[in-house]
Amino acid sequence: LAAGGLALTLLAASGGTAYATWNPDSVLEPRFSGLLSSAPSLVGNARSIVTEFDVYQKELARLVTNVTKLYDATSTLPAYQPDPTTLRVLHVSDIHLNPASWAIIASLVEQYQVDVIVDSGDTMDHGTAAENGFLDPIEDLGAPYVWVRGNHDSLVTQRYLEGLENVHVLDDGRARTVAGLRFAGIGDPQFTPDRSTKPGAEQSQELAGARLASALRDQRAAGTPVDVAVAHEPAAAREVDGTVPLVLAGHVHRQKTEVMKYGTRLRIEGSTGGSGLRAIEGEHPDPIETSILYFDRDTRRLQAWDAIRLGGLGLTTAEVSRHLPEENQPGASRSGAPSGAPSGSPSGSPTGSPADSPSGSPSPPSSPPPT
């Protein structure tokens, strides 16, 4: 009764404040900035902007398309050039219910001729059944979708995705071969929205990562090594060091790359949803981040990656930067493969300058992406 009374009081106060401060001129003469500056000419007056949000999504996707074309036209430095047979993987993470993400992903799939999309979790915010309809566009993105559960994704979310066409859910270390690459992953042991879940061994990221590492070792011993491991949190991903050439993660909402002690490369993706509703919590809006990973089709080894970054919430900045693994840089020895990696020399001979350090520090783009 106390909670209900407080809610009614707050509702009445909000309504009174809205009534007292209502200014119809603000609706008739709206002010737009950033990407929304083109909204009036695209979707009409302010009354129709909410109902025409899909137009805004398309414009954001068009920005990605134009940036990649500009990148292609202005880059002249010699560097790694993907072979036509190169496998292209789009790594996304932490979409957090941002509907604009689907248009961006679809645009990148078309522009880069992506073979497979890998989502390292937190696609949802609360993991409720009411959110499941948000996932339906995945079937129309134009590429297979490999997914692992994040701490904001529930088992309800996971079961719904398992019923969608062209979706491959990774959990418990089970391996799937998709588009010529062998993936294995494990769902996040924690579910943040469920406040009743108590911490303990079953919620340990390290234990989950150890289970994934054990499965990876078993598959390598059986002669079917995994090419790419996927976990949501970096703490779990670090446990597979030495058992696989590459492990993908997310969770921290910022891009980072490092080669761990036993040779496994850890690639952490930023938030492809710009942190969702959390984007406005800090002083500056969080950017939208994603990556294109290039793999040699024969050796299934990572050859290069393009880090893509868009300014969040109406900012017009966009950046595409090319990065090369250390062993694929000019003059580097090709003999030192990471532990757990398949042997063989990568195809293509890069001749450009290095674009990324082991710590993942970004550098200006040095080569065009495929068109």
- Determine the 3-state secondary structure of 197 from DSSP: coil
Q: What is the percent of the chain with per-residue pLDDT over 90, rounded to a whole number?
A: 53
CB 184 within 8 A of CB 174: yes
* pLDDT-based confidence at residue 220 (cuts at 50, 70, 90): very high
Q: What is the percent of the chain with per-residue pLDDT over 70, rounded to a whole number?
A: 67
- From CA 91, how far away is CA 268, in angstroms rounded? 9
Return the CATH number of the domain spanning residue range 53-328.
3.60.21.10
135 vs 313 pLDDT, higher one = 135
| pLDDT at res. 347 | 35
| pLDDT at res. 364 | 35
356 vs 54 pLDDT, higher one = 54
| pLDDT at res. 287 | 87
Strand partners, 168: 146
Tokens at residue 219, please?
A: 């598959």
Give the tens place of pLDDT for each residue, 264-288.
999 999 999 887 766 555 566 788 9
CA distances from 83 to 40, 223, 228 (A): 43, 27, 20
| pLDDT at res. 321 | 85
| pLDDT at res. 45 | 44
| pLDDT at res. 200 | 63
Mean pLDDT of the chain: 79
| pLDDT at res. 340 | 43
- Determine the 3-state secondary structure of 146 from DSSP: strand
CA distances from 11 to 1, 4, 7, 16 (A): 15, 10, 6, 9
**Highest-scoring range by mean pLDDT, 50-59, 162-171, 297-306:** 162-171
Strand ranges (E), the chain? 87-92, 116-119, 145-148, 167-170, 175-178, 181-185, 228-230, 246-249, 256-259, 265-268, 288-295, 302-310, 318-323
The full DSSP string for 307-363 is EEEE-STT---EEEEEE--GGGSTT--S--PPTTPPPSPPSS---S-----TT----
| pLDDT at res. 82 | 67
| pLDDT at res. 261 | 96
279 vs 66 pLDDT, higher one = 66
Give the tens place of pLDDT for each residue, 40-64.
444 444 444 455 556 656 666 776 6
| pLDDT at res. 350 | 33
| pLDDT at res. 319 | 81
Residues 197-221: what's their mean pLDDT? 86
| pLDDT at res. 369 | 42
243 vs 41 pLDDT, higher one = 243
- From CA 38, how far away is CA 56, in angstroms rounded? 9
200 vs 156 pLDDT, higher one = 156
* pLDDT-based confidence at residue 84 (cuts at 50, 70, 90): confident
| pLDDT at res. 311 | 76
Residues 125-143: what's their mean pLDDT? 95
